[in-house]
Each structure stands twice: as structure tokens, then as C-alpha cells.
Amino acid sequence: MGLFKKYVSQTRKPEGILGKLMVDGMNGGHAKLADWGMSHLHGITPKTIAELGCGGRNAAELMKRCPQAKLTALDYSSVSVEKARAFNAAMIEAGRCTVVRGNVASLPFENASFDLATAFETVYFWPGIETCFAEVYRTLKPGGVFLICNESDGTDKTGLKFEKIIDGMKCHTAEGLDAALRAAGFGFVRIYRHPDKPWLTVVGRKTADS
């Protein structure tokens, strides 16, 4: 495996020195994308948040935007967990943030634990996406929101290029995410597309009757 492929493959599960560099790069390089995604969290004041696939920066930004909330960040990479804990050390000390290692296919959370769950640039790598979405659904309270934010809309050349390079990567289309969310039980889904870039935000809500 060439150095370039080794490096970009760290997006899936950061490990070692290259993984640490990748997490740092994603925290900075994806900030504008993440903030655009968060701008679609209209009219909600979550008290409990799950940030799924964490690097640290987005967890901090969510706590800044939702000062009443406590946040749990989860990742299956020990490097990402370490980085997220360091990034949010003050909030962890204050009791507002917890960072755990775990897998989205079997979330270590009780039913109806969260008002909001977020996934920034990470569902590309979730194994069995409907199963993972069902796990998110299970852990959300009735009326809870699940926000997905991706740099690729599943049709752009750059995203599809990296899909061929990185093992296990799948660039989902808006329609595919919509279908998977509804199959997992979400009764309301809304899609937002960036006007100039292939950025995609998809919001699912666990409705009372879903």
C-alpha cells in the first residue's frame, strides 16, 4: 500500500502517527462543512447529544451552540477517542462531555437516551447502514433528531474517486440515506444540498408514531 493510500485510509479508522495527523486535519479541514450542517438544526434545544464518529472539534462546537446540553462522543478508533478527550478536556472536567470507545452497529447506550445524534463525515464507513441507523433510532427519544453531514453527495467525482481508494468506503446518495433512515423507522426525513458544492445534510426525526 502506497503512502497516499495509507494516509487517506486513516479516514476510516485513524491509527498511529498517520491517524493522529488525519484527525487533526479533519478537525480543521471539515469545520466549514460541519458548521453548514449544524446550521440546519432548526428550532431544537437538545439537552442530551450523541456525536457519533468524533474527532473533538464538532463535539466542542455542538456544546457551544447548545449550552444547555450534555454530550457523549463515540468513536471506534482509540486515536480519535484520545484526540476528542484532549480537545474537550475542559468540558469533560466540567461534566458536560463524555468520550467513549464503541461501535455504531451496537451502541453502548440505553433506549431513548438522546435528543440529538450527529454524524459528520462518518456514515461512509458504517457497516450495514440500516442496522446502524436502527441503533441510532433506538437511542433517540421520541421527537429526537439525527443529523448526517457529508462532503460527498454520492455522485461527485472526488467522492467516488476516494471510494475506490479507501477500503470499506461508500458514498451514499441523498436518496439512499433517505431510504435507509425510513427503513430504520424515522418518520420524517429532510434533505439539504449546498448550492455550490456536493455537500449534503440529511435530517431524520423520530416522530411520535414512527
Tens-place pLDDT, residues 30-68:
799 999 999 999 889 999 999 998 778 999 999 999 999
Q: What is the pLDDT of residue 18?
A: 47
Instruction: Give the pLDDT band of residue 19 (cuts 50, 70, 90).
Output: very low
Question: In the chain, what percentage of residues exceed pLDDT 90?
Answer: 76
Distance in angstroms (rounded) separating the CA atoms of residues 47 and 92: 16
Indicate whether 116 belongs to any domain: yes
Q: What is the pLDDT of residue 54?
A: 77
Indicate whether 99 belongs to any domain: yes
Indicate whether 37 belongs to any domain: yes
Indicate whether 94 belongs to any domain: yes
130: domain range? 3-205
Indicate whether 59 belongs to any domain: yes
Indicate whether 45 belongs to any domain: yes
b or e along 93-111 (b: 16 or more beta carbons within 10 Å of the residue's beta carbon)?
A: eeebbebbeeebeebebee
Indicate whether 27 belongs to any domain: yes
- Sign, CA dihedral 59-119-52-122, equals negative
Distance in angstroms (rounded) separating the CA atoms of residues 57 and 198: 22
Q: Give the pTM.
A: 0.89
Is residue 166 predicted with pLDDT exceeding 60? yes
CATH number at residue 93: 3.40.50.150
Is residue 27 predicted with pLDDT exceeding 70? no
User: pLDDT, tens digit, for every residue of 89-140?
Assistant: 999 999 999 999 999 999 999 999 999 999 999 999 999 999 999 999 999 9
Indicate whether 210 belongs to any domain: no
Contact between residue 207 and residue 192 where contact means Cβ atoms under 8 Å apart = no
Q: How many domains does the chain have?
A: 1
Instruction: Give the pLDDT band of residue 23 (cuts 50, 70, 90).
Output: low
